[in-house]
Amino acid sequence: MGVTILSIIVLILGILSIMSPLVTGAAVATLVGALLVAARITRVLWAAKAETFGRGALEFLLGGVTAFAGVLTLARPLVGLASLTIQMADITFE
């Protein structure tokens, strides 16, 4: 019974996402931004456990760049969506 209800909900959400691709893309860009912010936290924790100062400093700096990208994507999801689209096109048509 629960699987059937979940299947119907997913089906309805899929139809709605096909009907409004801009809203779906903005939602995906927001999710990617949130994941980038979460990745920043893990990079900083990794930097604290690094064996050498150089590797720790590099991880800390990469965490800052990741956080900047995540916050920018969260602040302007349509710009993030355009960036993700360009990156996907670059990967696809390489």
The pLDDT tens digits of the residues spanning 15-54 come to: 999 999 999 999 999 999 999 899 888 888 888 888 888 8
Mean pLDDT of the chain: 89
Angle at 15 between CA 12 and CA 18, to 5 degrees: 150
Q: Is a pLDDT exceeding 80 seen at residue 1?
A: no
Whole-number CA gyration radius for the chain: 18
Considering the entire predicted model, what is its pTM? 0.74
* The pLDDT of residue 59: 83
Q: What is the rounded distance in angstroms from the CA atom of residue 29 to the CA atom of residue 87?
A: 12
Task: Quote the tokens at residue 57.
Answer: 């400093």
Q: What is the rounded distance in angstroms from the CA atom of residue 82 to the CA atom of residue 17?
A: 18
